[in-house]
Structure 1
Amino acid sequence: MKEDMRSEGTGATGALDGLKVLDFTQMLAGPFCTQLLADQGAEVIKIEPMAGDTTRKVGPFHPDDKLRAFGGYFQSANRNKLSLVLDLKKAEAREIVLKLAEQADVVVENYRPGVMDRFGLSYEVLRERNPKLVYASIRGFGDPRTGSSPYMEWPAFDVVSQAMGGLMGITGPDENTPIKVGPGMGDLVPAVLAAYGVMAAVFRAQRCGRGQFLNVAMVDGVLALCERTIYQYSYQGKVAHPEGNQHPLLCPFGMFPARDGWVTLACQSDDFWRQLCMLIEREDMLSDARFTDNQTRVQNRDAVYEAVSGYTTRYTKRELTERLGGHVPFGPVYDIADIHADPHFRQSGMLAEVEQPGMDRKLAIAGIPIHMSETPGSIRHRAPLLGEHSDMILREAGCSAAEIARWREAGAVA
């Protein structure tokens, strides 16, 4: 395996070519944030502890994987990155970080508040070395530099931020049964917001020469996703609860049974409602006073859903796709086998195949959903092996072979 994988794949650089990011993150929220930057061409140096990011050991592992260096979890959130292993408890490792920070544009970390400070690598210390540095943190409940919270010191993961950010409270089959959303939205939404914040801060730094500290609290990111619940409470005094697969303000807008599964429809506008009534051969509903506009349909939602379901249950998902698809907002509920079979996802590049160390064939992970005409992002290489690029990164930072050997002997570098 080549030490420098940056030339693998398409060779495309992307809109963020030239942006240098030091990535101190682990698990999902931080790594997904920095992967978004890497996908668009940024050079992301993943600085890992001696044991590596904990998700390297999580799996899942393919049964044919002879090496088991990392599984699907790590691969899916760490592609396009370089790996440098440092023991930040060692003074030599901290000096290396300070040297790298002088050449970097961005630092991202998702430790609890104060951890980087105790390493002697706080934003304030790094800013002294590089005033243009943008320093981003993702934490459960924020950072003292940008706000306050009674829960500042609490650890948090996806399930906690989904719960306290309000997402679970509006998700479920009925108002008494909150449910965790399947994907790690408590991690992924803050990750996307942090990447957005990084680029906003970088834009300013490039214009005025000054970086800044930014933080995304995971619970705040989830609450932003649940924005509807805030105005429902302030405008109507309504406490939102789980409402199954229907929408509280739009109708019909939700999920309907098919003969072999489920489909979705979003025909809340009068024009789409009219088209839907004609497509399902229920023109009689167009003259029914209960369904004249979205507001009346919301008030009589049970009758709407009963009528539409009476049609959809007669057909399979494929048959409904042929009858309704492209005419009104419609989509079958897919499982991953359906997604692999649908040509859209192959053509859009969302089923991306990458090398898996220890195997002689590639495996699929989620692709890049941001499509640019002039500087398309790309998956240039797989996730890195632990410490795969340590020597290369240090050499490019101006460190000599003797220095690297001495640091490795001292246990500061691996």
Structure 2
Amino acid sequence: MAEARAGILSGICVLDFSRMLSGPYCTMMLADHGAEVIKVEGPEGDTSRSNGPWRSDDEAREWAGYFVSLNRGKKSIVLDLKNPEAQAAVRELVRTSHVLVENFRPGVMERLGLGYEELARENPSIVYAAIRGFGDPRGGESPYAAWPSYDVVAQAMGGLMSMTGADRDHPMKTGPGIGDVFAGMMMAFAIVSALRHAERTGQGQFIDIAMYDAMLSLCERLVYLYDMEGRIAEPSGNGHPLLAPFGIFPAADGWVSIGVVDDGFWRELTRIMERPDMMADERLATKAGRRAHAPEVNDAVSGWTRRLSKAELAKLLGGRLPFGPVNDAKDIFNDPHVAARRMIAEVPHAEPGKAGWRVAANPIRFAATPAVALKAPPRLGEHNRAFGIMPARRSKP
């Protein structure tokens, strides 16, 4: 039982040099399942510490929501990596660690004497994971390798924006930072895979993920449409380029999603709508037929849904065909599914007696090895002393 409570990644030590979202999301996934994640920060700390938002009882602005959500359960040490003593401390930590994660631009760690090849001499089994906007030259040198990149750039160049929005004249980024998050998710998978290899062989390796590449992988439809039909995928608003009715439809008090893929679902929808004429219409009996007459189909469904509330539509459609209301944060906090699945979790406050923070829980469920209870995020440099590291001294410019 003790092992199960420790988490499935208990015993794995991760040195986390990453900042902002992509790397911290990756290492959050590891920490949530028991890995010891040591966040290595510069004297100013991770930029996300100052990004907000802050609660009204946090007058010192120590606990930004951005930072708390991504860095729960980690440890923090402060090292000025330009300082030779700090570089020596990193090499010492690497000897007893399993993973290193960073998301600097290519060449930064090499200039500090802390690149993969140097650190692999200290620990041949180290798994060195690098998330960059356009990848690392080790995996293929991009002409954009030196370009700085954030989520908005990855979404734009990787094709996501060209497929999102109302039409070609209005490309749109997605709300969440998917350019960072998806790269971080893929890196977490890659790390666990590389650890499996290291356990079998004793050999670590360098892992290279480009945010651009991750977005292109996410937008796989873009590739096969162009390859097979010579068609450039375009924004389809809230609909689908291949299916109808499939997308977002108006309700009397908001919006709902309906996804009709097979013909049986179409027959069920027309029955519920009390539209025997549409059920009997041979033009609409197949996916291809409905695709060819998508405006007519979507208009008919919209005309029906807009007369009913989300609750009424849920009663009619829920469980009978793919359906769901468009939820905002308030809806999600009140949804019984979220409660049953424990998808809003509480991170305890670092100060005893203070109320904790609510965050999105980790969605992975292991039957035999449940995730560990969430722990407080670290104060900047909170664990320097525990690792025998003196407070960071700024290097000379």
- What range is the shorter-chain TM-score in? over 0.9
Identify the residue that residue 319 of structure 1 maps to in structure 2: 312
How far apart are the structure 2 equivalents of 1:361 and 1:136?
35
Identify the residue that residue 194 of structure 2 maps to in structure 1: 201
Identify the residue that residue 105 of structure 1 maps to in structure 2: 98
Identify the residue that residue 399 of structure 1 maps to in structure 2: none
- C-alpha distance after superposition, 1:217-253 (max 9, x if no partner): 0011011110001000000000111110011112211
| Residues 349 and 368 in structure 1, CA contact (< 8 A), matched pair in contact too | no
Deviating runs (4+, > 3 A) in structure 1?
356-359, 407-412
TM-score when normalising by structure 2: 0.96
TM-score when normalising by structure 1: 0.92
- C-alpha distance after superposition, 1:319-377 (max 9, x if no partner): 11111111111000001010011111122121111234568212211111001111111
How far apart are the structure 2 equivalents of 1:341 and 1:409?
45
Matching of residues 14-413 of structure 1 within 5 Å: 14-357=7-350, 360-394=354-388, 404=389, 407-408=390-391
How far apart are the structure 1 equivalents of 2:373 and 2:150?
27
How far apart are the structure 1 equivalents of 2:319 and 2:211?
37
| Residues 65 and 357 in structure 1, CA contact (< 8 A), matched pair in contact too | no
How far apart are the structure 2 equivalents of 1:278 and 1:410?
72
| Residues 132 and 209 in structure 1, CA contact (< 8 A), matched pair in contact too | yes
> How much does 1:67 deviate?
3.4
How far apart are the structure 1 equivalents of 2:344 and 2:186?
24
> How much does 1:163 deviate?
0.2
> How much does 1:89 deviate?
1.0
Identical columns (%): 49
Alignment gaps of 5+ in structure 2: none
How far apart are the structure 1 equivalents of 2:30 and 2:138?
24
How far apart are the structure 1 equivalents of 2:75 and 2:317?
47
> How much does 1:379 deviate?
3.9
- C-alpha distance after superposition, 1:88-111 (max 9, x if no partner): 111111111101101011000000
| Residues 42 and 79 in structure 2, CA contact (< 8 A), matched pair in contact too | yes
The amino acid of 1:392's aligned partner reads A
> How much does 1:175 deviate?
2.4
Aligned with 1:229: secondary structure? helix
How far apart are the structure 1 equivalents of 2:349 and 2:95?
33
Aligned with 2:20: secondary structure? coil
| Residues 16 and 38 in structure 2, CA contact (< 8 A), matched pair in contact too | yes
> How much does 1:408 deviate?
3.5
Equivalenced residue count is 393
> How much does 1:12 deviate?
2.4
| Residues 33 and 191 in structure 1, CA contact (< 8 A), matched pair in contact too | yes
Aligned with 1:12: secondary structure? helix
Alignment gaps of 5+ in structure 1: 1-6, 395-403
> How much does 1:388 deviate?
1.1
| Residues 8 and 369 in structure 2, CA contact (< 8 A), matched pair in contact too | yes
Deviates more, 1:48-57 or 1:358-367: 358-367
Distance 1:121 1:319, change over 3 A: same
RMSD of aligned Cα (Å): 1.7
How far apart are the structure 2 equivalents of 1:316 and 1:49?
52
Aligned with 1:275: secondary structure? helix
The amino acid of 1:302's aligned partner reads P
How far apart are the structure 2 equivalents of 1:319 and 1:224?
38
| Residues 189 and 222 in structure 1, CA contact (< 8 A), matched pair in contact too | yes
Distance 1:409 1:304, change over 3 A: closer
